[in-house]
Structure 1
């Protein structure tokens, strides 16, 4: 029995925690009439401590995790100078598709309004960025006092400061080898700490869901279902409308041929929920489509690091879900801040399962939204993470094809099946 329990993945434990929390919350809501047990003992003590304690652990990770990962991610892009236009085009395309992804998510969630009906407005909300002008937003990004920004969790200045350090490390290279190694090791430590904290996720999710649904009842299920629908709709649009359109516009190649040959990689990414593990398969399949390995060996690993379109869609939907649940009307400046922060959060985000939930704290913090709502959506995130990863690696591949085509490093006849592909890789999917 214990052996079988150990085989259950963390994502499935999180799902179990969510389901049990919802069931127990409904039980309290409909069948427990004793106020002392229901409200004072369970909701305001046991569940409050368990759920809020887990949220605090997640907040603990945000600033150092983002700071180290941003620096390491930017510093690793030093190869762009070696590749010239290939690196520049790749970076621009990745950042543009990420911005498109989070914009689509915001538009979908603004239309469907998944958070309406959840009624969390009783929670105190402070410092929501809905009345700040765009000029103030831009000025607030400048790290006047980086140490103060790090201490206060002021994420936009932290991101900019991290980007500047990363650029300098990339420029100085060997002269700052020791410092660069320190940041790499710091990033590694934060990733291990993230894995440690996430082990408590099932308990935290159970407490958060039980506390939420003990007060809301059945009406709380509908907003959650609408949130899932918003994320999935955004992912479908990004994967089957945006990406194919970009391929047709820039290469005139047939997207249907791409998806027919790429489906095995998509299925592997879906089942593994990790972009990094899919890198070898992605490289192999692109080689079979006529993409030069000189291009793909740079763009695919880079994409696994900074091209997180699926994650950005989740973050955009989550922001709107939370704002609507708390009755907050985010202004234009706040929405632009969300788009910028989500794009920047994608840089250096590790291609491993559920790390997007950690950086979601950063996106919420950029506009002052309460992070409690993150706990409500965490239980179903494993399922959505599978879809997000499939979209992420699909975007990496299509962007690589575009860059390769534009740099005349692609054999179109191989892509169209008129020639046999080169045997550069062992068939990893056989």
Structure 2
């Protein structure tokens, strides 16, 4: 087992976990009480390092960029990439939903209701990204506020110059320490993945998923298609990076995101993967924490499929104009709901309200949301890594020698 790569170990653990979960379908309590706690323990270890890792890596990444103009340039590229790929994702979702008739033959069960979550106003999100108390933001794990504080702190360290050198070295030491701690914790990833996937399969076995299997299959197919088309093309054209090599090296992060359904928890692994691809620390430390918070390609694709599904089961024909509204709303909402718990479900509420669809359809989606969340989070994390590679290549901070050396050794 020691000779196997981390991605192989995680994949094996995932498959074994699915098999064990199927055998334990009649024992969901046992799966939740005796196996899930080990997965929760591993997640707690990951959560332990996320906040100090994001803070330290972003400060170091910002100071490593050299000047304020470069921060603005890289930030603009990152935001443009995330918005563009998100728009493509929701378009792919709508096309598949139209062509494959996702809601055909379904009707909303009588009495099915789901309370709509209030969608935050975009202006409120903008106001709330500035922390009134950075210590509280760190304690609460408010990623948007932590990111803004880290960027401001890093920029200020650059502006002060030599007098802040000791503070800069302190954050560099903290970042390196967190990288080392991450590497140690990641040795337990396969066990954590196994313990997390078993209760999911045991509780939601195939019989529960059959009525909505079509929605699940279309969302999963759309996610795979988005990665194969959009990420592969941007990597090949803009990053001059082999898509096959990329997907191979990002697989540990993608698989872990699939199991945990948490972009933030996967962040340490994503950073390790991009480091192995040759992305400079200054780029990955800037792009990835931002992507873990605001990049929601998989979630946006899910919005398109689910909105069309709910329209069909409600007897509503979405016009081209309404579907364009879905694209625009889902794309902008990916930033508008950034950092909000349950962001995917809130985004869906916003999309349904934007085109006048009944919120009762949320009850059906809520039943399979955990299964859909696994796929969309995996896409989100993969998109973060793809953006890091593309931005690094555009800034000549993609170490081609790392690529060549690792390729030759395979």
Superposed CA deviations along residues 327-382 of structure 1, whole A, max 9, x for unmatched, are: 11122332222112212222243497x54123322221122211211211222222
1:86 maps onto 2:40 in alignment:
no
Correspondence 1:74-113 to 2 at 5 A: 83-113=71-101
CA distance in 1, matches of 2:288, 2:32: 35
Superposed CA deviations along residues 240-288 of structure 1, whole A, max 9, x for unmatched, are: 2210111111122211111222222222222222111111111112112
**Normalising by structure 2, what TM-score?**
0.61
Counterpart of 1:416 in 2: which secondary structure?
helix
Counterpart in the other structure of 2:338: 349
1:339 to 309, 321, 327: 327
1:307 maps onto 2:295 in alignment:
yes
1:402 maps onto 2:356 in alignment:
no
Structure 1's 308 and 236: CA in aligned 2 closer, same or farther, altered over 3 A? same
CA distance in 2, matches of 1:8, 1:359: 32
**Normalising by structure 1, what TM-score?**
0.58
1:245 maps onto 2:233 in alignment:
yes
Aligned CA RMSD, in angstroms, stands at: 3.9
1:317 to 300, 305, 308: 305
CA shift, 1:291, in A, is: 0.6
CA shift, 1:6, in A, is: 3.7
Counterpart in the other structure of 2:282: 294
Structure 1's 165 and 247: CA in aligned 2 closer, same or farther, altered over 3 A? same
CA shift, 1:3, in A, is: 7.1
Superposed CA deviations along residues 17-51 of structure 1, whole A, max 9, x for unmatched, are: xxxxxxxxxxxxxxxxxxxxxxxxxxxxxxxxxxx
Larger CA Rg, structure 1 vs 2: 1
Structure 1's 383 and 8: CA in aligned 2 closer, same or farther, altered over 3 A? farther
Structure 1's 392 and 221: CA in aligned 2 closer, same or farther, altered over 3 A? closer
Contact 2:258 2:378 in 1 (8 A): yes
Structure 1's 253 and 82: CA in aligned 2 closer, same or farther, altered over 3 A? closer
Structure 1's 163 and 273: CA in aligned 2 closer, same or farther, altered over 3 A? closer
Q: How many residues align?
A: 290
Superposed CA deviations along residues 378-417 of structure 1, whole A, max 9, x for unmatched, are: 2222222222221111110011100010011111221233
Structure 1's 364 and 179: CA in aligned 2 closer, same or farther, altered over 3 A? farther
CA distance in 2, matches of 1:335, 1:349: 23
Superposed CA deviations along residues 148-196 of structure 1, whole A, max 9, x for unmatched, are: xxxx9996xx644336536xx76xxxxxx538899999996xxxxxxxx
Query: Which 5+ residue runs of structure 1 have no aligned equivalent?
Result: 11-75, 124-151, 171-176, 189-205, 207-217, 422-430
Query: Which 5+ residue runs of structure 2 have no aligned equivalent?
Result: 1-26, 38-57, 63-67, 143-202
1:178 to 132, 142, 153: 132
Counterpart in the other structure of 1:226: 214
Counterpart in the other structure of 2:123: 161
Contact 2:274 2:385 in 1 (8 A): yes
Counterpart in the other structure of 1:380: 368
Counterpart of 1:410 in 2: which secondary structure?
coil
Correspondence 1:112-123 to 2 at 5 A: 112-120=100-108
Structure 1's 242 and 223: CA in aligned 2 closer, same or farther, altered over 3 A? farther
CA distance in 1, matches of 2:137, 2:348: 22
1:284 to 262, 272, 285: 272
Structure 1's 259 and 115: CA in aligned 2 closer, same or farther, altered over 3 A? same
Contact 2:89 2:226 in 1 (8 A): yes
Counterpart of 2:132 in 1: which secondary structure?
helix
CA distance in 1, matches of 2:406, 2:105: 56
CA distance in 1, matches of 2:95, 2:123: 30
